Amino acid sequence: MSEKEEEIELAKKNAAMRAVEENLKSNTILGVGSGSTIVHAVKRVAEIIREKKWDIKCIPTSFQAYQLIMEHGLNYTTLDRHPIIDLDIDGADEIDQDLNLIKGGGGCLVQEKIIASNSKKVIIVADYRKVSTRLGENWKKGIPIEIIPMAATPILKKIEQMGGRPSLRMARAKMGPVITDNGNFIIDADFGIIEQPKVLNEKLLNIPGVVDTGLFISLTSRVYIGEKRGNIKIIDKNN
């Protein structure tokens, strides 16, 4: 691992640990997000449970999150049992000045949004590379959009008509498209700098065959940003 990679990994770890330590309480229903930063958060959750004997029940946002829950011996539960989640801790691909997000680079956007939208408090942890003034400044891969497979071609055409540059996300270790945990495809649609993320999100959701988008609008309560040299920047909603 290079010095730069070590710096980024430390930033992720510091942000995740601080977020868990400041927000986790006993008797909590916890949404467990996806991605590399969340690995550090789950590890800290497990340590706190062992130290304090707290009762924490975890709902995963993806198969990866489910594996983390099992690996660390945490209590697993579901939305059927606990439809209201106390705290959701997740990562992001990009965060704008209003705490809107682009998520879904890892392909788990639909389940992540379901968990976030049913949570009383959504905490995002990320490193300094993920922060921008407007969405699309730092994240150049486009908005992830989960779609019904049979609608792929017409959706691609409709996104082009909207001014986007869409592409079907292809798998690396197998032939063909990426398949989500829900059995769907993902389109990555580049719209450049996004001036009105809420408006764009609504337009995309109106396309038949679109399941959901990686635009997370007005869901975030607080963001923990791991900065260089170990500092943590905390940004609250409407702050």
Crossing angle of the two packed helices 36-52 and 3-23, in degrees rounded to 10: 40
Nearest to 61, CA basis, from 86, 90, 82: 90
**CA neighbours closer than 13 Å in the CB half-sphere of residue 136:** 17
SS3 (DSSP) at 136: coil
d(CA 24, CA 224): 14
Active site residue 112: yes
Which residue in the list 112, 137, 146, 202 is annotated as catalytic? 112
For residue 223, give both structure tokens. Answer: 């963001």
| Chain position carrying tokens 């809420």 | 198
Q: Within the chain, where are the H helices?
A: 3-23, 36-52, 63-71, 109-117, 152-161, 197-205
Catalytic positions are: 112
